[in-house]
Amino acid sequence: MTLTEKPRTAPAPLPLAPALRPRRGFSIGRTLKYTMLVVFVFIVMIPVYVLIVTSLKPPADVNPATSWGLPVRWPWQSETPGGATGFDNWSAAYTALAPSLGRTFLLAIPAALISALLGSMNGFVLSRWRFPHANLVFTFILFGMFIPYQAVMTPLVQMKSTLGLPSDISTLLLVHIIYGLPICTLIFRNYYVSIPMELMEASRVDGAGMMRTYWSIVLPLSLPGFVVTIIWQFTNAWNDFLFAMFLSDTAGGPVSLALNNLAQGAQLANYGTAMAGALIASLPTLLVYIILGKYFIGGLMSGSVKS
C-alpha cells in the first residue's frame, strides 16, 4: 500500500433480520385438541373420583344414591363421639388385604423377572441364531398369545390335580411364567433384530459362542426390552383373577381373591371399605407405571425400526 492509497475497511455488516416469532393467535384445531383431552381426562377420572370419595365416607354416610357427593363430614370426624370415621375404611381394608398383598408381591415380581429373562433368551436365539424351521418354532410359541385363558382353564385344573400342585402362589407363579413367554419372546425378538449384525460377527471373530455373545454383548443392550416386558408381566400377574380363582384359594391366593371376598362382604355392610381396598390393591401397579412409564413407550418403539 502506497502513501496515496486509502486503507481498506471491512464492509459494514448487513442488518440482522428481526427474529420470527410464532403467532399465538386463536386456533380452532388447538382449542379442539385441548378440549377433547380435557373431556377424556374427565371421563377417565370419574371412577377414580367415586372410589376416593366413597372410601373417605363413614359407613353411615355411604349410600349408592349419593355416591357423587362429597363427604358430609371430614374423614376423621364421626357421627357420634367414638364412632366410625372415613379413615376406618382404609384401616379395615388394609387389615383384610395385608397378607395377600405380600403373597402377590412374591408372585408378580418373580413372574415378571423370570419370564422376561427367558423371553430374552428365546428372542435372541430366534432373531440371530438361525436353525432349521426357526420360523415354525416361533409361530408355535406365538400361538400361546391367541389361545383364550378360558379355553385351557379346565385342562389346567385337571393337570394341577393330577400333578398334586398346591393351591397357592407357587402354582400361579409357574402358570404366569409359562403364559408370559410368548409375549416376552415376541417383544425381545423384534428388539434384537434392530441390533447391528456387526456386533455378532465381531464376537464370533473373537471366539465367543452363542451364550457368551448373549451375556456379554446382547444382554447389556436389552434394558428397553426388559422395561417393557417387566411392566407388562408385573401388571398381568398382579391383576390376574381368573387363574387365581381356579388354581388357588383365599388362604394362599393373591390380592385379587382377597379383594373379591372383601367386596362381597361389604355389599351389605360398607361400600367404603370395598372402595378403599380397590385403591390399595391398585397402588403397586400405579407406582410401577409412574416410575417406569416414561421408558415404556421408548422400549416398545426401540425395536420398530431396524438399524
pLDDT at 307: 43
Q: Which of 140, 69, 101 is nearest to 254 (CA)?
A: 101
pLDDT value for 115:
94
Q: What is the pLDDT of residue 62?
A: 73
Please give the Cα distance from 136 to 147 (Å, whole number): 17
Establish how many alpha carbons lie within 13 A of residue 42's alpha carbon, considering only the half-sphere containing its beta carbon: 6
- How many alpha carbons lie under 13 Å from residue 174 in its C-beta half-sphere? 11
Residue 36 has what pLDDT? 93
With beta carbons less than 8 A apart as the criterion, state whether 176 and 107 touch: yes
Scored b (16 or more CB within 10 A) or e, 86-115 reads bbbbbebbeebbeebbebbbbbbbebbbbb
| pLDDT at site 70 | 79
Contacts of 30 (CB under 8 A, 6+ apart): none
Q: What predicted TM-score, i.e. pTM, was given to this entire model?
A: 0.79
Which residue ranges in the chain fall short of pLDDT 70? 1-26, 73-86, 265-269, 296-307
How far is the CA of 199 from the CAs of 29, 91, 153, 194, 219, in angstroms?
47, 55, 44, 11, 12
> Which of 227, 189, 176 is CA-nearest to residue 306?
189
CATH for 99-301, options being 3.40.718.10, 1.20.58.760, 1.10.3720.10, 2.60.40.10: 1.10.3720.10
Residue holding cell 371376598? 261
